[in-house]
């Protein structure tokens, strides 16, 4: 079904990710008679590049989180975050073009699913790094314009940065180790809990920020940057969710099942004392 669309996918990727002048060695390449190439080995090569992307993504997030926490500018750190974004762009394009060629080989349905999963994973990883770069840009604007956060705002950001980083690290490690998971997999459920917790905490932080704005306790421009950073962290969380979904699928179904289970457990616990008095 998807094979006729592959040439269009190649053109789209090249258009969206043009050469930015970065010189990097191309590691992924199919050569020789395509009928004699093992799709499984080719997919394993792509998995290796995904592992490399994972490392770059985590470096980018750690550097971006460090930069947001700085009290004085470090231009070298900002430049490294920018460099990692270009590196990730190049790897993502290379992985997509390579897998597009691999997908034209004769392969099983499971191999085809895995190939499309890897294309999506590389795209989600690249998107996470884009938002890491945005975090650095927002903080650089504050350094440039000599803006500062209130102590409450900085404390809230530090917490959200920490929680998002823990979720991201757990998710990318899960994605590397697992290619599938049962519906009741407890590791996936813990990632769902972390994701929902980040969303709920981000809402609370947003509300607290709006209260500070109403009370005139924060600079208006600094407040706008604060909101931009919170939104970027939400986007990183969302792309991390997409990353897990790309690998094992059915995220929303798994999430709904967990919520139903926890509601039943809450009702059971609430009913237990009443039952004991009968």
Q: State yes or no: pLDDT of 9 exceeds 60.
A: no
Which pLDDT score, from 0 to 100, does residue 2 have? 43
Contact 181, 253 (CB under 8 A): no
* Domain limits, the chain: 8-18+38-270
Cβ count within 10 A of residue 256: 12
What span, in angstroms and rounded, lies between the C-alpha atoms of 236 and 162?
13
Nearest residue to 95 (alpha-carbon basis) of 44, 169, 31, 57: 44
What span, in angstroms and rounded, lies between the C-alpha atoms of 258 and 196?
11
Q: pTM above 0.95?
A: no
Where is pLDDT greater, at 218 or 8? 218
- Determine what percent of the chain is predicted with pLDDT higher than 70: 85
Pick the CATH number of 8-18+38-270 from 3.40.190.10, 3.40.640.10, 1.20.58.220, 3.40.80.10: 1.20.58.220
Q: State yes or no: pLDDT of 204 exceeds 80.
A: yes
Which pLDDT score, from 0 to 100, does residue 3 have? 42
Where is pLDDT greater, at 61 or 22? 61
- Over residues 210-247, the pLDDT tens digits come to 899 888 888 888 999 999 999 999 999 999 999 999 99
What span, in angstroms and rounded, lies between the C-alpha atoms of 74 and 71?
9
Contact 102, 40 (CB under 8 A): no
**What is the DSSP code (8-state) at residue 104?**
T
Q: State yes or no: pLDDT of 272 exceeds 80.
A: no
């Amino acid at each position: 079904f998807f094979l006729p669309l592959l040439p269009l996918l190649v053109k789209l990727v090249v258009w969206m990710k043009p050469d930015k002048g970065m010189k990097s060695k191309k590691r992924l390449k199919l050569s020789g008679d395509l009928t004699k190439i093992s799709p499984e080995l080719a997919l394993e090569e792509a998995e290796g590049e995904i592992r490399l992307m994972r490392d770059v993504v985590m470096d980018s997030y750690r550097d971006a989180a460090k930069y947001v926490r700085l009290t004085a500018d470090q231009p070298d750190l900002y430049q490294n975050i920018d460099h990692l974004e270009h590196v990730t762009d190049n790897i993502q394009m290379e992985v997509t073009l390579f897998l597009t060629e691999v997908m034209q080989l004769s392969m099983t349905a499971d191999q085809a699913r895995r190939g499309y999963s890897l294309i999506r994973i590389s795209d989600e990883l690249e998107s996470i790094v884009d938002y890491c770069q945005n975090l650095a840009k927002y903080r650089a604007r504050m350094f440039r314009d000599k803006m500062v956060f209130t102590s409450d705002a900085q404390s809230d950001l530090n917490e959200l940065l920490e929680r998002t980083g823990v979720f991201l690290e757990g998710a990318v490690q899960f994605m590397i180790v697992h290619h599938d998971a049962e519906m009741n997999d407890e590791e996936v459920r813990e990632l769902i809990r972390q994701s929902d917790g980040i969303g709920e905490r981000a809402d609370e932080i947003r509300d607290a920020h709006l209260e500070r704005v109403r009370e005139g306790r924060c600079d208006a421009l600094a407040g706008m940057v604060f909101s931009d950073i919170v939104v970027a962290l939400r986007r990183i969380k969302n792309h991390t969710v997409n990353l897990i979904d790309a690998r094992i699928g059915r995220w929303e179904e798994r999430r709904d099942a967990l919520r139903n289970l926890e509601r039943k457990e809450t009702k059971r616990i609430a009913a237990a004392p009443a039952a004991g008095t009968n």
